Amino acid sequence: MQQARIEELKKIFDEMQLNIPGFLGAGIAELQEGFPVIGFSQLPDFDLETTGPVYAWLAKSIKRIASFIGEEVTGNLETFMIRMDAIILFAWLIKDSYIMVVAAKTKEANIGFTRTIVRKFMPRLEELLI
């Protein structure tokens, strides 16, 4: 990926950090193979970039399960959310080619607000990841 696009993705993550309560980090990975594209974390040991294959596998599994019941999971909508005592992980498909995960502190996060903020950035993310 071109360096200019990587810089733009970093700017988006910076904006997310400023606007999402409890924001801990975000990462984008290629969906098919799970190759990391970019990751950002406020915590040095919390690396969302290198966990790309795990999230890609989860997203593909969800799509497979949906196909078993005759549904298709496509587009930019949130595909799943994992809520733990300390952290919430939100995951979105981008153009059916990438997966983005956003992590936030459970006690500070606002699920609806986080979804709204991320959806605001989707058009820019789509442009950068074509």
Tokens describing residue 83: 């809520």
Name the CATH superfamily housing domain 3-128.
Dynein light chain 2a, cytoplasmic (3.30.450.30)
Whether residue 13 has pLDDT greater than 90: yes
Question: What mean pLDDT is predicted for residues 55-81?
Answer: 73
Q: What is the pTM of this model?
A: 0.84
State residue 76's pLDDT score.
Answer: 47
- Those residues whose C-beta lies under 8 Å from the C-beta of residue 79, and which sit 6 or more positions away, are 59, 62, 63, 73, 91, 92, 93, 99
Among 114, 86, 112, residue whose Cα is nearest residue 100: 114
pLDDT in tens, 108-129: 999 999 999 999 999 999 999 9
Better-scored residue on pLDDT, 12 or 69: 12
Pairing between β-strand 78-83 and β-strand 36-41 as defined by DSSP bridges: unpaired
Nearest-5° Cα angle at 121, 115 to 124 = 155
State residue 7's pLDDT score.
Answer: 94
Domain boundaries defined on the chain = 3-128
Lowest mean pLDDT across 25-29, 74-78, 104-108, 124-128: 74-78
Question: What mean pLDDT is predicted for residues 16-44?
Answer: 89
